[in-house]
Structure 1
Amino acid sequence: MNSQNIFFGSNIKFLRERRKMNQESLAEKLSLTRSKLNALENGHTKAPQPDDYLRFSDFFKISVDSLLRVNLAKLSELKLRELEAGNDVYMTGSNIRVLAITVNDQNKENVEYVPVKAKAGYRSGYSDPEYLSKLPRFNLPNLPKSGTFRMFPTVGDSMLPIPEKSDIITEYVQDWKSLKPDTLCIVILKGEQDFVFKQVTVSQDSSLLLRSLNPVYVPYRVEAEDVIEIWKYLSFHSRTLPGAATNQDQIMKVLLDVQQQLDQIKKAVR
């Protein structure tokens, strides 16, 4: 990893100064010598021990990933408070939690199915092995040898020509930044928002652009902190054959394009 992209030293100095602490007081709280803390802050310790990372992570209540990879000095105060509250802004699932899984008698990972009636409980039970163990489980041939897979149902027509009420086989995405633009994904959102099946593009400003396959639906953005999980599309299962676009769909697309052009003209006039 390029050392220029590691912010551990500058981050712990920034967090210390943000709390208006000098090196002596912080070193005492962390059971470190002042000289070691000074070396860590200035990058003079090339190979900090895992205990060092965990010590600072526990004290400042910020994940190790963020201490290493995110330049905290460039975040707003609101983002920093969200970070300290556990809403990590680094765009990877690995720093939010360890993914819970279930295995079969041969110690191989199952594919869990999250039926419609279980969707409401998934947001609170997604990290609970006991909750996952109560979901329907199965194994599928021809899945990649590595990875964690799950099946989710879809509702609505926003992803036509993929039929409504299809079951989507997905693979867990650990590093959200690895997604290519417009990757088909199931996105699990916080709060009252539903699971969504969309084309996902991760933006530089830590937001996600969600786009439907059905051109009638307008793309929209969600913030990274509003996302619990992302699962990349692999295949779908349906009893309905995908249909070709109808004349009505084509007319709606033309109307949508005209509306967008009108909106652009209005902005230009202003």
Structure 2
Amino acid sequence: MQYLAQNLKYLRLRKRLSQTKLSFKIGIGASSISAYEKKRSTPKLDTLLKFTNFFNRGLDELVLTDISAQDKEKLQDTKGDKLRILPIVVDDQNEEMITLVPVKAAAGYLNGYSDTEFISELPNFRMPFAELSENKSYRAFQIEGESMLPIPGGAYIICEYVQDWELIRNGSCHVVVSTEDGIVYKRIQKDLDNNQFILHSDNPEYSTFEIGLNQVLEVWKALGYVCFDLPSVQNKD
């Protein structure tokens, strides 16, 4: 239990939770959480498992590893100074095409996002819109679910590649590609001091969640969307 107390406090504060809020979320008394963090008490195994499940950390990691130091060693390059491979497809005039990632290709994209051959096998097209610059890279992601209503599931989000994550504007919409959560379309709040993004849904029925930067593969700024789900006509009495 060498690092348990400091790890519990570190992980709780990283999620911006008070002891009372954490207590409500996982069903452990706030006074007990306080005692664990101050080394006045040691949790039983079933309680430890509640912590590991909530924080998504292994049991050995929670009790035997200094997680804060470990996370600092894994700090992600937020400015994009290190090489990030972004394969593109060009047409016969050597002009860059827009790659479409439909829902059915989302799982494959997590493995093939840096593979030129995989990207070339996806649908690729051009859009003659003045809002799209020739000097930037674009991709279209089809989303599913209702977390970002009024944009419906099945819509295609037209995105611009983000190399420097520090330029992301808090509250702006982005497609985030990560090893943990796959492809998600959310509003981003940066928390670079804690090496994470906080992702928000426009639909209040969906919870906010955090994602570590070391899990993030790509970030794409949303510019617009294409939708084939036209609104129905409202009857006027």
TM-score range, shorter chain: 0.5 to 0.7
Would you say the 8 A contact 1:79–1:89 is kept in 2? no
**TM-score, scaled relative to structure 1:** 0.56
Report the counterpart of residue 123 of structure 2 in structure 1: 136
| CA RMSD after TM alignment | 2.0
Q: 1:115 corresponds to which letter in structure 2?
A: P
Bigger share in helix: 1
CA deviations over 1:5-43 (Å, ceiling 9, x no partner): xxxxxxxxxxxxxxxxxxxxxxxxxxxxxxxxxxxxxxx
Residue 93 (structure 1) shift: 4.3
Report the counterpart of residue 182 of structure 1 in structure 2: 171
Report the counterpart of residue 214 of structure 1 in structure 2: 203
CA deviations over 1:225-250 (Å, ceiling 9, x no partner): 1111110101100112468xxxxxxx
Q: 1:117 corresponds to which letter in structure 2?
A: K
Residue 80 (structure 1) shift: 5.6
Higher relative contact order (CA 8 A, sep 6+): 2
CA distance in 2, matches of 1:241, 1:181: 30
Structure 1 unaligned segments of length 5 or more: list them. Answer: 1-74, 83-87, 244-270
Report the counterpart of residue 183 of structure 2 in structure 1: 195
Would you say the 8 A contact 2:172–2:187 is kept in 1? yes
Residue 79 in structure 1 maps to residue 71 in structure 2: yes
**TM-score, scaled relative to structure 2:** 0.64
Say which SS state the counterpart of residue 195 (structure 1) adopts.
Answer: strand
Is the radius of gyration larger for structure 1 or structure 2? 1
When residues 80 and 213 of structure 1 are mapped into structure 2, their CA distance, relative to the original with a 3 A threshold, is closer
Residue 159 (structure 1) shift: 0.4
Would you say the 8 A contact 1:112–1:135 is kept in 2? yes
Say which SS state the counterpart of residue 106 (structure 1) adopts.
Answer: coil
Report the counterpart of residue 246 of structure 1 in structure 2: none
Residue 81 (structure 1) shift: 5.0
Residue 126 in structure 1 maps to residue 118 in structure 2: no
Say which SS state the counterpart of residue 182 (structure 2) adopts.
Answer: coil
Residue 194 (structure 1) shift: 2.8
Structure 2 unaligned segments of length 5 or more: list them. Answer: 1-66, 233-237
CA deviations over 1:199-233 (Å, ceiling 9, x no partner): 01111322101001112212111110111111010
CA deviations over 1:117-157 (Å, ceiling 9, x no partner): 21111111111111111010000012123210001011000
